[in-house]
Amino acid sequence: MTARTEMAAEVLLLAAALAAALPGVGETLYNGLELPREWPPKSVRLLDRTPQKIPYLESRPAVVPIDVGRQLFVDDFLVERTDMRREFHYPEKYAGNPVLVPETPIEVNRPSNSCARTIGGGIWWDPHRRKFRLWYEAGWLGTIAYAESDDAVHFKRICQDVVPGTNRILPPDAPRTDSWVVLPDFSLADPYARWLLFMRPPGPGAQPSYISESADGIHFAPFRKAGDCGDRSTAFYNPFRRKWVFSLRAEMGPWGKGGTRSRTYREADDFFAGSQWNFALQGSTGDAVMWLQPDELDPKDPLLKLPPQIYNFDAVAYESIMLGAVEVWRGPENDAIVKSGMPKIVDLEFAYSRDGFHFHRPDRTPAIASERWTSGKWDAGYIQNVGNLLVVKDEKLIFLYSACVGNPSRLGIGGFSCDLNGAYDNGASGVATLRRDGFASMRPAVGETRGELVTRPVRFFGKWLFVNADVKAGTLKAEVVDAEGNVLPGYSARECLSLKGDFTKARLSWRGAMDLAPIAGRVVRFRFLVENGDLYSFWVSATPRGESGGYLGGGGPDYPGVRDLPAGKPADER
């Protein structure tokens, strides 16, 4: 960190201490948000299908610190005024999918269902091994297997000594997997020195979950019992608040008989202590609060016509936000798929949060969609995300996901675990890619070639302004204005060197002032002028190379860890 960045961190800590002394005010976040003293909030009621309010969009900080991460335009948090429109974008499925199919005996898994699925699990770039490390499910509700990759697209199964001759990492006497995730231990200075596993075996209703740890991600200690929860429960880490979060399935109504799949939330400072809770499937427990639910903005499937439900929810830190993956269940119910041998229709949608609890869902278009039964494609249904959602390589976000094509020759057999039910057969994994920061862009209004966007008041301690923009058919300029809207000397649009091209990281400068050092620490606004193009993000970097200090999902080969930090700097993921 530079001296100015360190000073900024000290200012935020002082602000947090002052806020904590005020009645009704709790923690102050990196982006200027002040959380209420009671956190997480207990105001959510899961039987109410009214869309949840997003408090930080209704009452925004007077000044937004922007020293952590690229600033994305997924919402209006940083927008003061604009005549531009927001366009959402979606990952593109890889033409070579699927990239992982059932091949080995533990994946083929007969007489049960076959799968090699990145459902939960995890894909993380390990800077020590210089490999993408993948933990995936081998065999339907079977076991955990391990693979590695140089590019997060082509994977090699790596045999281990846990069960010689296989890439299995759990012994035969371990519980079978249903809901599970593998995470580096972000409480350590070196998170890759210990790997954490949260797992819930199959079974109806509330069942015990288990936790374990490993020094190498291969040899896990004997499982320790954790709290009860419903299936498709999971865990993730929020580095902005240094909290472990357990995303627990709730059921508003009878289990599997017309009940609505929803989520409850539990956060903890310590992964192991936090995994011990008292759980109620209906969400009425002091150890977890009601959290996420489908609402009236979720459209019914035109064919199935059932109210959508939230099948699962994972999240990961990306740049300056928490990125959420909402698995939206559209049907059919379990008794119907037993009779058809075809998978449930589950699509993946994105959600975004700046406080780690309230996830904004401004776009209900599937980001990664089921191809549906008549397609005959490998990802006909049952789309599931890998636990930590994404990794970064070559300025692209790489999403791993799994799906099932089903098997109508295996009908009406199997109990709750559906070991022989063809709806869960032939599971495989694929890849989808998205432009870096590519979730949403701001572009001129329909019929217009030019647009303007003015940010809310911001403060920074870096020196260089960067943007992610596609203006190959146009141009982009920026100017800096004060709180009253007056252009600061040397930072006018006329003096800005015009940007033209398609860049995920481009530095802007002015003839009269090459960098922002003279105004670092001041409260200013940026005014962006876009002609025939898209603006995806902006940020102020402490170095001319453009490191953002933000988070990168599971990381990637160009970074020291899961943060975009300068080379040689300690990868403080905490």
The whole-number pLDDT of residue 18 equals 46
b/e 154-170 (16+ beta carbons within 10 angstroms → b): ebebeebebbeebbbbb
pLDDT given for residue 16 in this prediction: 47
Burial label, 489 (beta-carbon count in 10 A; 0-12, 13-18, 19+): exposed
14 CA to centre of own chain: 30
Residue type, 379: D
SS3 state of residue 335: helix
**Amino acid at the residue 87:** E
Tally of CB atoms within 10 A around 265: 21
Residue 50 banded pLDDT, cuts 50, 70, 90: confident
Residues forming beta bridges with residue 268, ordered by sequence position: 244
Give the pLDDT of residue 280: 64
Average pLDDT of the chain to the nearest whole number: 91
Tell me, what's the pLDDT at 273?
Answer: 96
492-529 burial code (b ≥16 CB/10 A, e <16) = bbebbeebbeebbbbbbbbeebebbeebbeeebbbbbb
- Identify the band that residue 220 occupies on the pLDDT scale cut at 50, 70 and 90: very high
Tell whether the model's pLDDT for residue 14 goes beyond 50: no
| Tens digits of residue pLDDT in 319-340 | 999 999 999 999 998 888 888 9
Question: What pLDDT, in 10s, does the model give residues 349-390?
Answer: 999 999 999 999 999 999 999 999 999 999 999 999 999 999
Least confident piece of the model among 75-84, 201-210, 431-440: 201-210
% of the chain at pLDDT higher than 90: 80
Is CATH 2.102.10.10 what the domain over 92-432 is classified as, yes or no? no
Asked if pLDDT for residue 294 goes beyond 50, the answer is yes
Q: Is the pLDDT of residue 306 over 50?
A: yes
Does residue 502 surpass a pLDDT of 50? yes
What are the backbone angles phi and psi of residue 174, rounded to the nearest 5°?
-75, 155
Give the lowest-confidence range in 10-24, 96-110, 478-492, 553-567.
10-24
Could you tell me which residue, 554 or 290, shows the higher pLDDT? 554
Name the percent of the chain lying above pLDDT 70. 90
Backbone angles phi, psi at 13, to 5 degrees: -65, -40
Q: What is the pLDDT of residue 285?
A: 57
Do 555 and 561 contact (CB within 8 A), yes or no? Answer: yes
User: What's the pLDDT at 413?
Assistant: 62
Q: How distant, in Å, are the alpha carbons of 308, 329, 340, 407, 411 from that of 373?
A: 18, 15, 11, 11, 16
Query: Is 80 exceeded by the pLDDT of residue 8?
Result: no
Is residue 570 over pLDDT 60? no
Q: What is the 3-state secondary structure (H, E, C) of 87-152?
A: EECCCEECCCCCCECCCCHHHHCCCCCCEEEEEEEEEEEECCCCEEEEEEEECCCCEEEEEEECCC
pLDDT at 573: 46
pLDDT on residue 278: 84
User: Which is nearest to 53 in space by CA: 360, 298, 263?
Assistant: 360
- So what's the pLDDT on residue 181? 98
pLDDT band at 514; cut points 50, 70, 90 = confident
| CA angle 288–390–547, rounded 5-degree value | 105
Report the C-alpha gap between 221 and 212 in whole angstroms.
6
What pLDDT does 203 receive? Answer: 86
In this prediction, residue 1 carries a pLDDT of 45
Which one, of 440, 451, 402, 445, lies nearest residue 323 by Cα?
Answer: 440
Mean pLDDT for 185-205 is 94
Checking if the pLDDT of 15 tops 60, the result is no
At 106, phi and psi to the nearest 5?
-75, -20
Asked if residue 444 has pLDDT above 90, the reply is: yes
* DSSP assigned state of 374: G
SS (H, E, C) 313-326: EEEEEEECEEEEEE
What pLDDT score was predicted for residue 172?
Answer: 94
Q: What does the pLDDT read at residue 253?
A: 58
pLDDT for 534-544, tens place per residue? 999 999 999 99
Q: What is the pTM of this model?
A: 0.93
Going from the C-alpha of 372 to that of each of 60, 225, 336, the distances in angstroms are 41, 38, 15
Backbone phi, then psi, for 48, in 5-degree steps?
Answer: -90, 115
What are the angstrom distances between the C-alpha of 430 and each of 48, 118, 318, 412? 36, 8, 21, 28
CATH 2.115.10.20 positions along the chain are: 92-432
Q: Which two tokens stand for residue 276?
A: 């011990």
Query: How sure is the predictor about 530, in pLDDT bands with cuts at 50, 70 and 90?
Result: very high
| Pick from 294, 268, 267: nearest CA to 351 | 294
pLDDT of residue 368: 98
Residue 401 has pLDDT above 90, yes or no: yes
Helix (H) or strand (E) holding 9: helix 3-20
Report DSSP letters for 400-444, one per residue. Answer: EEEEE---TTS-S---TT-TT-GGG-SEEEEEEEEETTTTEEEEE
- pLDDT category at 11 given cuts 50, 70, 90 is very low
Query: Which of 126, 147, 148, 138 has its CA nearest to residue 170?
Result: 138
- Please state, in angstroms and rounded to a whole number, the distance separating the CA atoms of residues 518 and 157: 53
* pLDDT tens digit sequence for 221-252: 999 999 999 899 999 999 999 999 999 998 76
The pLDDT assigned to 572 comes to: 52
Residue 284 has pLDDT above 90, yes or no: no
Element (H, E) at 334: helix 334-340
Question: Which residues face 434 on adjacent strands?
Answer: 397
Higher pLDDT, 412 or 268: 268
Asked if residues 181 and 198 have their Cβ atoms less than 8 Å apart, the reply is: yes
Residue 116 has pLDDT above 50, yes or no: yes
Q: Which of the residue ranges 32-46, 49-63, 482-496, 551-565 would you say has the lowest mean pLDDT?
A: 32-46
CA 23/CA 29 separation, integer angstroms: 17
Mean pLDDT of 460-465: 97
